[in-house]
Amino acid sequence: MSSTSATELAALMCSRLCHDMLSPVGALSNGLELLADEKDPEMRARCMELLEQSAKISTDKLKFFRLAFGAAGGFGEAVPVEEAQSVIDALVSDAKGVTHNWAISGASLPKPAVKVMLNLSHIALDALIRGGTLDIGAELQGGNVEIVVRASGDRIAFDDNIGRALQGELAPGELSSRTAAAHMIAMLAEEMGGGLQYKKDDTSLVMGAVLPQPEGMIG
């Protein structure tokens, strides 16, 4: 895998976070300005609905970033599956025309595996630009955590550079805020002695990971 400095990767991840938060936070600011000037009760009620929606999207994204990008303080070496599910459930509820299914065995997963699963899920959700189905599965098999995420829809929008980042094939100069998360989990998988893979066609995107379970959690 190409070498990327921690500083460069951190800067790209911050850019990604700011990019994703700009729209809902900007909507909050605009909504407050409209509410301050609006006198009609019906329009004020509509403004409040938009503010509540933008606040929810902002909160949902921050909860996702905490687990998918951050240190996820407050958890030990394992994260309860319900915590991971809740952040994806929230993002899917904020999307349009997307349904999703879960197939996860066990009550918890190693923290690195949760990061990989969440980021793959987010990539898959972004690919469903016209709606569709998101399937997420994970299980422990023979000392490994196996993860599969599939997006199925009428159209799949997937940047080939994200695929290259998942395979660790992007040179440092080719990285961007759009590919940084994929590169991060590729580095994480490599550090664990595991790997990522993906397959795409016109109506589906399938991504998977095989990650050795941390020694302290085996058994």
Q: State pLDDT tens for residues 149-201.
A: 999 999 999 999 999 999 989 887 888 999 999 999 999 999 999 999 999 99
Model pTM? 0.88
5-9, 100-104, 113-117, 183-187: the lowest-pLDDT one: 5-9
Q: What pLDDT is attached to residue 219? A: 46
**Residue ranges per structural domain of the chain:** 6-217
Instruction: Give me the mean pLDDT over the 2-18 stretch.
Output: 80
Task: Output the CATH code of domain 6-217.
Answer: 3.30.565.10
Neighbouring C-beta atoms of residue 100, cutoff 10 Å:
21
C-alpha span between 190 and 196 (Å, rounded): 9
| Residue 28, CA atoms < 13 Å, CB-side half-sphere | 12
Q: What is the pLDDT of residue 88?
A: 96
Give the whole-angstrom CA distance, residue 156 versus residue 206.
Answer: 11
Count other C-beta atoms under 10 Å from residue 37's C-beta. 8
pLDDT per position as a tens digit, 13-33: 888 888 888 888 888 888 888
Cα of first residue to Cα of last residue in the chain, in angstroms, is 31
